[in-house]
Structure 1
Amino acid sequence: MFRRMKLGRQILLCVVVVQCAGLALGATTLVRNAREAVEVEIAASEQSARAMVLAAVGATLRDGASRDVMTRLSEIIVEPRHVDIVLLDAQSGPVNVRPAVAEEDEMGAVPDWFTRLVEPRPRETRIPVRANGTVHGFVTMTTAPADEIAEVWKDATKLIWIVMATVLLQVLLLGFLVRRALGPLDALRAAMRRLRDGDLAARVARPASRDLAPIFEGFNALTEGLARADTERARLARRVVELGDDERRAIAMELHDEFGPCLFGLKVKASALLRGARASGDAKRAADAEAILEIVEQIQASNARLLTTLRPMAIGQLPLLEAVADLFDAFRRTHPDIDWDVHLPADLPRTHESVDLTVYRFFQEATTNALRHGTPDRIRAELAADASDLLLVVEDDGSGIAADADEGRGLTGMRDRIGSLGGQLAIGRGAGGGARLDARMPQEVPAARGLALAVAS
């Protein structure tokens, strides 16, 4: 439990424990010294009282008749402090003795536990008053430490209050100093929480404490290094996407400009051979020509699909909204049994071709995955824009994505492409129980990417 406490509380707890131990030791010493002091004081008072009584008895017996000695003693003897004196006349019984000073009873203010700790064992002394072999009475002296204990208690309470006030002031002052010294650690903890959440701009101000300054400087240096590394990583990711787009564009151009005409020429030649074979009545050659035409048509269809996969023809030729609308029109034609709920804005600001391609690929990949793996009855797609970002959503009511399912290459590529433009992709469950993909990406391409694209072009 102690190890889980904050450092400031550990320090204060240790100080409080040490102070309490010191107070306990001081209180023990105080009680022991108080007991000894009361014992010494009572013993001295007892000896003085005994000497006074003996002198008074001797003087009384010398100066007067022995029959009224007890009465005369009651007039001479004055009861001292810390000793109770009782005169007992053998004939008439107890005789009162005058107290030295009329004192207030302070015993009521002393706790019983303190009295029990310091009170010495009571002692009683009896002195007989004897003249000519006759005992006229007794003088009884009993120790009475109540007033001495009250004085000791008064002094002890003053001392205890002073010590407790000093300890409390010390703890408060130490707590203030510890909080002031460790307060910057709260700012460091908040900055580390921001860094954990992905905020690489988190920084902490230099503290006044020299001991903490190197830690804070190291944290700032770490975040600056992470920010530079993240910037470089994003730049490299954008460059990888650029090179991939450029390579696909080049392959698509080769397929369209070189492979396409060759297939068209081959189809023309095969058609000519077919017509010649039919004109000459050569059935075998006509069948071979027809087979060649079928193969050419299959290659042309595959070439067209490959061109669309490498680079959609609509991108770069149509505005983004029209390209996305055409994409979902094609999905409607191929999957007429699906309830399509597509929301597109009336207008969008003009965006870079890489942004258009990323948006198109997002809707294409997300919708294809929903149709292929989710077997949904309804698919909802939405494209919206705020002041600086594009917001993309695809949601279905199919079987969804299993919690332990591995992310496929399509989703990984989509995440990398969106992240390379400074966006974010979130994958979760939709309201209907199926999968939901949310993406947010900036409308503007970073300047470094725009320059790279211009150079690559």
Structure 2
Amino acid sequence: MSIGCAAGAIALHGYVADRTAHRTVLSNADLVLGTAFPLVAALVLVYQPRSRVGWVLLSTALTGPYLLATQYAALALVPGQAGLPGQAVATWFAVWGYVPYMVLWGLVPLLFPDGRLPSARWRRVAAVLIALIACHLTARMLSPTSTDVSRELMNPLAVDGATWLLYTTVITAYLIMLGGGLAGLVAVVTRLRRSAGVERARLQWLVAGMVGLVGATLVGLLLEGSSDSDGLSMGVGMLLLVAAIGAGAIRHRLFDIGAALSRTVVYGLLTAFLLFAYAATVASAGALIPGQRIAYGVLAVAALVAAAARDQVQRFVDRLLFGSARDPYAVLAVLQGRLDLATGPIDALAQLAEGVRGALKVPYVAIHPADERLMTIETGAPVDAVERAALHARSERVGTLVVGRRHPADEFNGAERAMFDDVARRAGDLLDAAATQHDLRRSRDRLVAAREEERRRLRRDLHDSIGPQLAAMAMQLDSLTDGLEERADPAAAKAALIRDRLRGTVREIRHVVENLRPPALDDGGLTVALGQLVAPFAPIVALDLSDGSADGQPGSQPGGTLPAATEVAAYRIVAEAVTNAVRHSACERCTVHVRQEPPWLVVEVVDDGVGLAADAVPGVGLQSIRERAGEVGGRLEVRRAAEGRGTVVRARLPLGERRAA
């Protein structure tokens, strides 16, 4: 409909221009807005029906009826054609129907390419722009002003004497164009610096279109002066803009727009510098020196300066558009900072992959270890076009670094490939360290497990064999002592001494048995043992096993029981944490939570006491349970409760042998 109305407007414009001496305007930019933009909006909605950008662009379909209304209103300037049906309404519509310009300028840069604002903080900016557009539209509808098609045609619904409405329309128009343009520029640059892959390609198309619009408009002004009243140059720029928006939304992979955009901006800036230098020289020195030969000399010097500054300008533009993605040395500095904060080789590899993806703005980075015991490290969404680099350590291949291209046609330059080689060397060393750490962890886990199993065997032997035998011997000595005392035998005293020492030995053996392994663990498992542990502290301390352990028993898991070392570590950690809470925190409530989160057994002790002081120094008990968690390959966290009162002791202990991750 908009295209048909635009065609009708062209026909009416020709009819009116031939039959009146009054000048009427039909802007080429308006024609592009009323034909090309609705067509692109329709194509975007066909490919992406839910695209908010497409629906905002579709508002330009109002431009076609607006153009037809302006030319129909202009018929009043033709003798005998005034007072036609609906001409007053058409004239009124011709006063404010250009509003799609405001919508396009104010909202599309904020929403492109995915229809969402850059962040929640931009909602206020969008709301202010929408309010300004609504205010401008309302004021324009009632202001005493003329139409754009002809100054002879006045607003038929104008409020007489309301000149303040004119000021309102002018002020809001400037706020929308300047404020909206600045906000859109900031939004696009913000997205560009943190985007990657498809989103980056689409944004680069939008920036290319905006550069084309500005460039075409400036060229038109330079070549035609201020007489470009029909908007030919701006029409060409609008055509470039809508083509770029359409390509960005539908065919963003047409070719590598990033490199083309960067070079276009650089050469545009250098050209503008040369033109400015030439114009300034002619204006200032040309009137003083005959022949203006100095202008050519200054232009030559300016050209040399521009050539020398080309690399610096290119780096500045690349940093503006791509962040540090095109500066390998800056990327390496960022990566080194991330690696310094890593807690181990695996964490360092994850930081390395994430750092490469974020700094270079690539869509995907992965590190594939050759050792099957180590997990693959991935970040981003996989793409088809990738670069691969072998990872080596000690002359052996230990894995592969995979980096996705920003665009299928966007190959990495020499500096970036050299940076990949450096990253590959670091990743190779980290993979080798991770494999060594994994071997050490497995050895430690096996030693701890073997120790606990041996303790379990020793406790069983002492409890079931040696202990009962010694107790029986003590009973026999007791009978012997009684017989000797009845006969007043002097050996009775020695027998009593041996009996008492034997009883002391039995008590010491029982104490050793309990220290080797809590008896309740072997009698009923971790659940029963924890229940017996917290029972003396009731009602202050409660045991919560309701968060979904396997079969309702945290001490069991599908396929077998917990490792002996994990059971003991869990029991000792709960015992120490509960004791500390009851003795030192002045709590009214302490809850022990035990649940499985494979591959972890999670044990939490939460109290509502006074909590940890900011300058608290860990005591022997806290160090002891931290060591118990660490020796079985677990982790311990001690922090203040979320409510600000109380303490949370949280341990994650392995359910079995873990794969390095």
> What TM-score range do you get, normalising by the shorter chain?
0.5 to 0.7
Matched, 1:353 2:353: no
Q: Does structure 2 retain, via aligned residues, the 8 Å contact 1:401–1:435?
A: no
Matched, 1:383 2:594: yes
Cα-to-partner distance string for 1:220-249 (whole Å, 9 max, x where unaligned): 222012202211221232133124313423
Q: How does 1:196-275 map to 2 (within 5 A)?
A: 196-198=341-343, 199-202=347-350, 206=389, 208-209=414-415, 211-212=418-419, 214-273=421-480, 275=482
Name the amino acid aligned to 2:441: A
- Partners of 1:391 and 1:274 in 2: CA distance: 54
Deviation at 1:441, TM superposition (A): 2.6
**Worse overlay, 397-406 or 414-423:** 397-406
Q: Does structure 2 retain, via aligned residues, the 8 Å contact 1:352–1:444?
A: yes
Matched, 1:415 2:626: yes
- Partners of 2:445 and 2:328 in 1: CA distance: 41
TM-score normalised per structure 1: 0.53
**Worse overlay, 392-401 or 359-368:** 392-401
Higher relative contact order (CA 8 A, sep 6+): 1
State the match for 2:509 in structure 1. Answer: 303
Q: Matched residue of 1:427: which SS?
A: strand
State the match for 2:575 in structure 1. Answer: 364
Q: Does structure 2 retain, via aligned residues, the 8 Å contact 1:200–1:226?
A: no
TM-score normalised per structure 2: 0.38
Cα-to-partner distance string for 1:413-434 (whole Å, 9 max, x where unaligned): 5434433444211133456766
Bigger proportion of residues as strand: 1
State the match for 1:405 in structure 2. Answer: 617
Q: Matched residue of 1:314: which SS?
A: helix
Matched, 1:182 2:327: yes
Name the amino acid aligned to 1:266: M
State the match for 1:148 in structure 2. Answer: 289
Q: Matched residue of 1:318: which SS?
A: helix
Identity of aligned residues (%): 21
State the match for 1:341 in structure 2. Answer: 542
State the match for 1:122 in structure 2. Answer: none
- Partners of 1:420 and 1:311 in 2: CA distance: 16
Q: Does structure 2 retain, via aligned residues, the 8 Å contact 1:235–1:420?
A: no
In the alignment, structure 2 segments of 5+ residues that lack a partner are 1-272, 354-387, 390-411
State the match for 1:172 in structure 2. Answer: 313
Matched, 1:314 2:525: no
- Partners of 1:432 and 1:293 in 2: CA distance: 58
Q: Matched residue of 1:444: which SS?
A: coil
Cα-to-partner distance string for 1:23-54 (whole Å, 9 max, x where unaligned): 9xxx9xx9xxxxxxxxxxxxxxxxxxxxxxxx
- Partners of 2:301 and 2:659 in 1: CA distance: 75
Q: Matched residue of 2:543: which SS?
A: strand
Q: Matched residue of 2:604: which SS?
A: strand
Deviation at 1:359, TM superposition (A): 1.9
- Partners of 1:429 and 1:283 in 2: CA distance: 68
Q: Does structure 2 retain, via aligned residues, the 8 Å contact 1:249–1:310?
A: yes
**Worse overlay, 261-270 or 284-293:** 284-293
- Partners of 1:400 and 1:283 in 2: CA distance: 65
Name the amino acid aligned to 1:320: L
**Are residues 184 and 276 of structure 1, via their aligned partners in 2, closer, same or farther at CA, if it must alter by over 3 Å?**
same
Name the amino acid aligned to 1:193: R
Deviation at 1:158, TM superposition (A): 4.3
State the match for 1:442 in structure 2. Answer: 654
Matched, 1:323 2:534: no
Q: Matched residue of 1:405: which SS?
A: coil
Q: Matched residue of 2:656: which SS?
A: coil
Q: Does structure 2 retain, via aligned residues, the 8 Å contact 1:377–1:398?
A: no
Q: Does structure 2 retain, via aligned residues, the 8 Å contact 1:395–1:436?
A: yes
Q: Does structure 2 retain, via aligned residues, the 8 Å contact 1:200–1:224?
A: no
Q: Matched residue of 2:527: which SS?
A: helix
Structure (1 or 2) with the larger CA radius of gyration: 1
Deviation at 1:310, TM superposition (A): 0.8
**Are residues 406 and 236 of structure 1, via their aligned partners in 2, closer, same or farther at CA, if it must alter by over 3 Å?**
farther
- Partners of 1:180 and 1:343 in 2: CA distance: 51
Q: Aligned residues, how many?
A: 305
**Are residues 399 and 161 of structure 1, via their aligned partners in 2, closer, same or farther at CA, if it must alter by over 3 Å?**
closer
Q: Does structure 2 retain, via aligned residues, the 8 Å contact 1:389–1:442?
A: yes
Q: How does 1:20-59 map to 2 (within 5 A)?
A: none
State the match for 2:171 in structure 1. Answer: none
- Partners of 2:600 and 2:516 in 1: CA distance: 26
Cα-to-partner distance string for 1:339-387 (whole Å, 9 max, x where unaligned): 2133223613524233333322221233344456667654332212335
Deviation at 1:151, TM superposition (A): 2.1
- Partners of 1:301 and 1:387 in 2: CA distance: 40
- Partners of 1:341 and 1:317 in 2: CA distance: 21
Deviation at 1:323, TM superposition (A): 2.4
Cα-to-partner distance string for 1:323-346 (whole Å, 9 max, x where unaligned): 2212222x43xxx6x721332236
Cα-to-partner distance string for 1:261-286 (whole Å, 9 max, x where unaligned): 232123312331354367x3759988
Q: Does structure 1 retain, via aligned residues, the 8 Å contact 2:471–2:503?
A: no
Name the amino acid aligned to 2:338: R
Q: Does structure 1 retain, via aligned residues, the 8 Å contact 2:543–2:593?
A: yes
Q: Does structure 1 retain, via aligned residues, the 8 Å contact 2:640–2:647?
A: yes
